[in-house]
Structure 1
Amino acid sequence: MSNPGAGVLAVMPLHTISEVYGESGLRERLLLEIAEHPDVERLTAALELASELHVADRYGREPYINHLLRVAIRIISHYEVQESDVVVAGLLHDSVEDHPRELAGERAGEPTAAALGELARRFGLRVADIVAAVTNPAPDPRRDRHQQYREHVAANLDRAPWARVVKLSDFTDNGVGILYSTGPHMRKLASKYRPLTDVYRDLVTRADTPLAEHVKQHILDQLDRADERFEAILARD
């Protein structure tokens, strides 16, 4: 199906764009959002790198790049953040965790550190720092994986306000969009994410979280919606 006009895409919910128009619709929406941005070339370069790294990855029923596109669009459009470093980090927030060796290329050293070094070289230290803050550590086999994840989120985002913005968009996409997941995976995700909504409520309402008050309220409403979906999924037999 061909994409609708720019005016329709600009107001359509992001998951609706995904369902109806797929990756091409999301790409067009992002390009609309950044067309007048003074750093459009850098943002486009980040999109190209994300597309290259995640080309074979899937996100449930769709290409993984769709998730990254929605995260970036939400940061610009819904959160009203124009700082290119934050949008670039949104597009590349899973690059180090999922594809450290591909990203690092010929750089020597431990893959995660080398990949972060390559991000810093291409897009600057601030982008690398934001991505580092939202990159999960290797799982500790002696610990509950979900508990380790929750502690990592709370600790890292406590001292990284701009990383909170990226992670809030990521979590919203995962939480509100959980109904687009498939089969047993939906319940697994609900179990993982449900204990985190209160953590995010605390983070979004902090004075140093760099978002307007009406944006913070929008995010709180989204967290409420995610909670409703988690509880409905977990209540099923």
Structure 2
Amino acid sequence: MSTVGAGLLAVMPLHTISEVHGESGLRQRLELETEKLAEPERVGAALDLASRLHAADRYGREPYVNHLLRVAIRIVSHYEVHDTELAIAGLLHDAVEDHAADLAGERPGTPTEAALAELENRFGPRVADIVAAVTNPPREPGVDRQEQYREHVAASLDRNPWARVVKISDFTDNGVGIVYATGGVQHHLATKYRPLTDVYRELVTRPDTPLADHVKQHILDQLDRADQRFDAILDEE
């Protein structure tokens, strides 16, 4: 991996860090960002847990933890949310959806219930509530998968403004970063995500979405960029 000074690393686009410096570079960038937070050690504990849960997972050509790192970094850096629990939720936003049983351990209840209880025990009820809001429910028989996904996003984020911040960072990473996806996955993702950009535009611009106006405009610009990329991929078919 190439080495880079902290000053340059702090201003590099996140996907550029991923491409040039890999997971190590993203971890260094998160360390720089968590200096702005009141409890950086709690973020470190969340990253340790996320790294263990997702150790065998991949995100295209890279380890899955890179996606989680970018989501958390974007919340603190780009969205200017200097909130320890939001950074933690960003790192753990897929933990219950992807690894509920591993996270739950021997706790009683369904895997999802037990995993959320474990998150609450480790990081508090607010983190668990945010992660619950961005966790997709099991697929309902006879319901179109993508339609269920869109309805879940709209409903769960309608009542949880802080969960919107995490999910918007997640969506931005997936959408703007779709050009880094490999092979036929691009078309599948573009088909899944293209109908959602207007949903996120509406959520971002709500008065109760806890972001500064210039941050909201930045996100709207990113959603426009994602739409351009989705359309380019879908037009190739």
Which bin holds the TM-score, normalised by the shorter protein? Answer: over 0.9
Distance in 2 between residues matched to 1:162 and 1:49, nearest whole Å: 22
Deviation track 1:116-149 (CA, whole Å, cap 9, x = no partner) reads 0000000000000000000000112311100100
Distance in 2 between residues matched to 1:198 and 1:36, nearest whole Å: 32
Sort the Cα spacing of 1:70 and 1:110 in 2 relative to 1 into closer, same or farther, 3 A.
same
Report whether the alignment pairs 1:151 with 2:151. yes
Distance in 1 between residues matched to 2:182 and 2:36, nearest whole Å: 37
Q: Indicate if the aligned counterparts of 2:162 and 2:209 stay in contact, CA closer than 8 A.
A: yes
Report whether the alignment pairs 1:222 with 2:222. yes
Distance in 1 between residues matched to 2:121 and 2:3, nearest whole Å: 36
Report whether the alignment pairs 1:105 with 2:109. no
Distance in 1 between residues matched to 2:104 and 2:82, nearest whole Å: 28
- 2:19 is matched with 19
Distance in 1 between residues matched to 2:3 and 2:159, nearest whole Å: 41
Report whether the alignment pairs 1:208 with 2:203. no
- 2:56 is matched with 56
- 1:118 is matched with 118
Deviation track 1:26-85 (CA, whole Å, cap 9, x = no partner) reads 000001111353201111100110001000000011000000000000000000001111
Deviation track 1:172-231 (CA, whole Å, cap 9, x = no partner) reads 000000000011100000000000000000000000000000000000000000000000
TM-score by length of 1: 0.99
Q: Secondary structure at the match of 1:138?
A: coil
TM-score by length of 2: 0.99
Which residue identity does 2:27 align to in structure 1? R
- 2:130 is matched with 130
Distance in 2 between residues matched to 1:169 and 1:211, nearest whole Å: 12
Q: Indicate if the aligned counterparts of 2:37 and 2:83 stay in contact, CA closer than 8 A.
A: no
Q: Secondary structure at the match of 2:188?
A: helix
Report whether the alignment pairs 1:85 with 2:103. no
Percentage identity across paired residues of the two chains: 73
Shift of 1:108: 1.1
Structure 2 unmatched ranges of 5 or more: none
Number of aligned positions between the proteins? 237
Shift of 1:106: 1.2
- 2:32 is matched with 32
Structure 1 unmatched ranges of 5 or more: none
Q: Secondary structure at the match of 2:130?
A: helix
Q: Secondary structure at the match of 1:99?
A: helix
- Larger CA deviation: 33-42 vs 67-76: 33-42
- Larger CA deviation: 139-148 vs 49-58: 139-148
- 2:140 is matched with 140
Q: Indicate if the aligned counterparts of 2:2 and 2:20 stay in contact, CA closer than 8 A.
A: no
Which residue identity does 2:20 align to in structure 1? V
Which residue identity does 1:121 align to in structure 2? N
